[in-house]
Structure 1
Amino acid sequence: MELKPTESELEILQVIWKLGRCTVRDVHEELIKNKEAGYTTTLKLMQIMADKGLVARDTNAKTHLYTAVISREQAQNSALDKIRDTVFKGSTADLVIQALGQHRASSDEIDAIKKYLQQFESKN
């Protein structure tokens, strides 16, 4: 089963990736720095995420601790696959061209892209 986090779940995962093991309160305090969010909503989302297998919940202590099960790379791949398939009709080239056309890449980013393409070409 492929794990596909929603946008709200991704926001929570970003916090957990940043903090490591954390409580619902830890996550909630990070989330409210950037947007309005209710504590009970954060709690419910994290419980759903545990049920879906996106996070693991340690219930040994009075305060439950959560850790991410899905890696940042897995979440990025899932999101990119969804965007590529739904918005760009499966075309990786169209996705990359659109991304580069909408964002002014730094010279470091362009160098990294060139290096990746060279590695990709040498494998094929």
Structure 2
Amino acid sequence: MTAKSNLKPTESELEILQILWEKGDSTVRDVHEILEKNKEAGYTTTLKLMQIMHEKGLVSRDTSSKTHIYKALVNQQKTEQHLVNKMINNVFNGSAARLVMQALGNHSASKDEIDSIKKYLDELSKN
């Protein structure tokens, strides 16, 4: 793993990374407009956060045109794995089962999601 993948993004940085992972390369304005739908956020705050993320190596910035374009440099799957492992160890005392039961107990899963989980568990038990 590179040093970048070992970085631990803050909650606000994760919100921005989620947008970049879903939408792809984006301007600060693009990211800000999406953030603003869910919470009060000033444009300059979004800009500053993205500048800090660039300094930390979480995103790259293309400055070849007037409008800077930001791109996530950290891998979504690796970041999610790191955060889930950290949560399992720190919150659920190393028990993945407790995490899953808590998640399913607090959030309703669709029939398709439950079927996918069952299929995944069946595959795990075969190995």
Give 2:45's aligned residue. 41
Structure 2 segments unaligned to the other structure (5+ residues): none
Asked whether 1:74 is paired with 2:107, we answer no
CA displacement, residues 30-60 of structure 1 (integer Å, 9 cap, x when unaligned): 2112211111111111111112221111122
TM-score (norm 2): 0.86
Asked whether 1:108 is paired with 2:87, we answer no
Match of 1:122 among 97, 116, 126: 126
Q: How many equivalent residue pairs?
A: 123
SS at match of 1:89: coil
Please report how far the alpha carbon of residue 106 of structure 1 lies from its aligned counterpart in structure 2 after TM superposition: 2.1
Asked whether 1:9 is paired with 2:13, we answer yes
Give 1:85's aligned residue. 89
Q: Distance in 2 between matches of 1:42 and 1:118?
A: 43
Asked whether 1:65 is paired with 2:69, we answer yes
Please report how far the alpha carbon of residue 27 of structure 1 lies from its aligned counterpart in structure 2 after TM superposition: 0.9
Q: Which runs of 4+ in 1 moved over 6 A?
A: none
Please report how far the alpha carbon of residue 22 of structure 1 lies from its aligned counterpart in structure 2 after TM superposition: 1.1
Structure 1 segments unaligned to the other structure (5+ residues): none
- Root-mean-square deviation (CA, aligned residues, Å) is 1.5
SS at match of 2:41: coil
TM-score (norm 1): 0.88
Q: Distance in 1 between matches of 2:102 and 2:35?
A: 30
Q: Distance in 1 between matches of 2:34 and 2:106?
A: 29
Asked whether 1:24 is paired with 2:34, we answer no
* Residue identity opposite 1:78 in structure 2: H
Q: Distance in 1 between matches of 2:18 and 2:43?
A: 17
